[in-house]
């Protein structure tokens, strides 16, 4: 697989998952606006509407967090299968190289460095 194809595929998957997460995120204000119609119609009390709004927003937040975690795991698995490294893996390897170079230069001093 080419790098361009993999990058395009990752972007496509990321956009799709973010769209799903966006649908799961619900603001309390929007929920209250919707429930106010039921309050005005006398089908729900204001107290019950507020409790329902809190519950809906809480559930949406949990769903959003779960979707974000799933997306992160999926993308990390995709990177591993494509044999690409993550930024964290690259940074860890870079730190290790710097440490090893430091040890090497202590053991074998060189006027060039």
Residue spans per domain, the chain: 3-82, 85-113
> pLDDT tens digits for 80-94?
788 877 788 899 999
Burial of residue 41 (CB within 10 Å: 0-12, 13-18, 19+) is exposed
Looking at residue 100, its pLDDT comes to: 95
% the chain with pLDDT above 90: 13
Looking at residue 33, its pLDDT comes to: 77
Residues 13 and 79: beta-carbon distance below 8 Å: no
Assign 95 a pLDDT band (cuts: 50, 70, 90). Answer: very high
Assign 55 a pLDDT band (cuts: 50, 70, 90). Answer: confident
Assign 8 a pLDDT band (cuts: 50, 70, 90). Answer: low
Residue 2 has pLDDT above 70, yes or no: no
Average pLDDT of the residues of the chain: 75
Task: Supply the DSSP string of 2-65, one letter for each residue.
Answer: -HHHHHHHHHHHHHHHHHHHHHH---HHHHHHHHHHHHHTTSS-HHHHHHHHHHHHHHHHHHHH
| More confident call, 49 vs 106 | 106
């Amino acid at each position: 697989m080419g790098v361009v194809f993999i990058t395009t595929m990752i972007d496509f998957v990321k956009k799709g998952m973010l769209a799903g997460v966006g649908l799961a995120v619900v603001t309390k204000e929007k929920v209250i606006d919707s429930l106010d119609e039921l309050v005005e119609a006398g089908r729900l009390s204001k107290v019950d509407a507020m409790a329902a709004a809190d519950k809906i927003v809480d559930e949406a937040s949990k769903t959003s967090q779960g979707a974000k975690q799933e997306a992160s795991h999926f993308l990390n698995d995709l990177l591993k299968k494509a044999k690409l490294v993550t930024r964290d893996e690259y940074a860890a390897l870079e730190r290790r190289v710097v440490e090893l170079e430091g040890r090497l230069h202590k053991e074998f001093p060189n006027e060039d460095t």
